[in-house]
Chains A and B, each alone.
Chain A
Amino acid sequence: MYRYDEYDQSAVDARVEEFRDQVARRLSGQLTEDQFKPLRLMNGLYLQLHAYMLRVAVPYGTVSSRQMRMLGHIARRYDRGYGHFTTRQNIQFNWIKLEDAPDILAELATVEMHAIQTSGNCIRNISADQFAGAAADEVADPRPWAELLRQWSTFHPEFSYLPRKFKIAVIAADEDRAAMRLHDIGLKLVERDGVLGAEVYAGGGMGRTPMVAPLIRDFVPADDLLSYLEAALRVYNRYGRRDNIYKARIKILIHEIGADAYRAQVEDEFAAVKALGIDPPAAELARITEMFALPPLDRQAPDAVDRSDPDFAVWLDQNVRPHKVPNHAVVTVSLKPAGGIPGDASADQIDLMADLAERYGHDELRVTHAQNIVLPHVAKRDLHAVWTALAAAGLAEANLDLISDIIACPGLDYCSLANARSIPLAQKIQARFAEPERQRDLGELKLKISGCINACGHHHAGHIGVLGVDRKGVENFQLLLGGSGAEDASLGRIAGPGFSEDGVVDAIERVTDRYLAVREDGERFLDTYRRVGFETFKEAIYG
């Protein structure tokens, strides 16, 4: 894992003091709320329905046990004893007092953490494949690249007042586990003629105008990456729309002028920027990469796993994935227990996961964009012990990628933008499909719920998506079908008129019933949908 040196620590410490100063000026009235807002947002502090919410950055979703325990401590001391893991691989605390925020940032800084640029119209936390460094299919670990980008984008003098927020994801495998093409910029690391570089996609995103990012450049070698991104961002900063907040994302610019015109402008800018010497030497990426070396795994540990406990075997099959070292495994801890709040974990659960990572997982955890936690390096020998401890804490739900592994935004229970409540709906869907055998029979089925058109719950990318809207003062839920955030990225299509909360649960069941009736051997829901088409399912829903 990356460790701060004196420069990184100094940058974060200075930020804490800066924010303390800004909060003091706000409390004394020297700053208006309007002037303070972008400053607090760039430190992750939102004003929600009931209180301030603080979003803490988990760069590329990687966190150590010590850092995880700090998150538990913050939940306990400054919040109501829990935290909420987000689709940007971050964590947010929903009940924060403004006066406490500088102290929380100071506590975070003691474990090399911060809340820098987790909100605001700037470059946000860089996300990455949650299996990075453990997956067999990656050409390189994407996290050193994400760390390079974290540093480049931190306090970027030119790009702190962009037209709108800007999200970057980095992956390094053909299987896309990070919804890369639904980002403002998505990077896929590839090797060409022995040189590592990136395919650059730009202009993807969800929100009210969802788009899958087109390929903007086939290959940018590592040595040119920051220059190229500087050029890509500059074109956006200069020409992105600022007249309408809903048309200010880069996807609208690229859609309006066309990918070819955008690409040509970036190339012109890149030709000028490349001469400025803003790319760090190869030694910097090498320095960072060294810190992400695979931990010392016990390669002599037995490979065999005793599957005699049936509940354990079910969890193994569902939540445990292969590691690039065969006698190890990648464990996903589901934060989607039946009746729970998707992505929430109590302080005690956070501590327990930290303990397990320390004892069995080489001190490492990951936050996934699907709001679960990963222990990336567990010896197969230890899987039963890990499962036993998770089960005792209510964390052994065997539902990874099943219909109850729901992504949901906080919705109207917390969010001032929301039109509808996402959490109760998620719980009703989980209850309807509570039977584990039924879920497993349905197989991989990614269900995603957003409580408003801003799409924080990624409904466009759900195999089944649900969008909460307000219809004449009543919560109403639209159903979308056929979306995907994976390497076969696609946007869901609205099925038709919306439903009440109970009505949409029934409609989802009609969709899954039709799937079971028409699927062929080995087909996931999404495969069947793509083969038989939208109308078959629409007919199932509306008759």
Chain B
Amino acid sequence: MADPDQADIGGEPSLRFRDDEPSDEPAVTLDSFLTDPGNATAVRIEAGDDARALLPHLARLSLVEVSFPSFRDGRGYSAARVLREAGYAGELRAAGDVLVDQLPLMRRCGFDSFAPEAEIDADALARALERHEVRYQRAADAALPAWRLRHG
């Protein structure tokens, strides 16, 4: 797994697991995007927004930012799955109350960029990301589930 770049973007610490250049366009709200997309290529969806509304527009988007108002609010995990399953290949960023122990799960759901409110301890993150070698389910990442390893 590539080492993430931990850099300041727009004043917020950010972790990226992508090789392309980060989008510097400010993300617009889902409502304003759907009302008048203009030239926008970056959208922010709130926890209660329906990510499916973006499906007709995925090809033009380079950044979708998913808000986590509280680390307990797990709706964003499903939003990420929905977008990745529909073929979205751009940057998918988890923003807000994102904690180190959640990052491995978020990576599996397809997030490849993170803007946590509080800085994430790099050592704890490295340990968290490398700890689990076995996955029991197929998800949005490339990991093979245990049943696939068992049966080929």
Contact = CB atoms under 8 A, between A and B. Distances in A.
A21 interface: yes
B149 to A, nearest CB: 6
Band of interface residues on B: 35 or more
Contacts of A154: 136
Nearest to B106: A157
Interface stretch (A158-166, A389-397, A401-409): A158-166
B127 interface: yes
A367 to B, nearest CB: 23
A381 interface: no
Interface string A229-272: 00000100110001000000000000000000000000000001
A276 B85 contact: yes
Contact of B78 (A11, A39, A238, A242): A238
B26 interface: no
A281 interface: yes
B105 to A, nearest CB: 4
A161 B74 contact: yes
B37 to A, nearest CB: 24
A7 interface: yes
B147 A157 contact: no
A520 interface: no
Given A25-B124, A151-B146, A272-B85, A237 B74 contact: yes
A30 B124 contact: yes
Contacts of A281: 147, 151
B109 A158 contact: yes
B137 A156 contact: yes
Interface string B67-89: 00001111101110100010000
Interface residues of A, number: 44
B78 A237 contact: yes
Contacts of A278: 137-138
B151 A284 contact: yes
Nearest to B127: A21
A385 interface: no
A223 to B, nearest CB: 13
Given A18-B128, A156-B137, A237-B78, A35 B72 contact: no
Nearest to A157: B108
A21 B124 contact: yes
A35 B147 contact: no
Contact of A157 (B79, B109, B128): B109
Nearest to A160: B105
A242 B73 contact: yes
B79 to A, nearest CB: 8
25 contacts: A7-B149, A14-B132, A14-B133, A21-B124, A25-B124, A30-B124, A35-B71, A151-B136, A151-B147, A152-B136, A157-B106, A157-B139, A158-B78, A162-B74, A234-B81, A237-B77, A238-B75, A238-B78, A242-B73, A276-B85, A278-B138, A280-B151, A281-B151, A284-B151, A287-B150
Given A11-B136, A161-B102, 7 more contacts: A11-B146, A18-B132, A151-B146, A157-B77, A234-B78, A281-B147, A284-B151
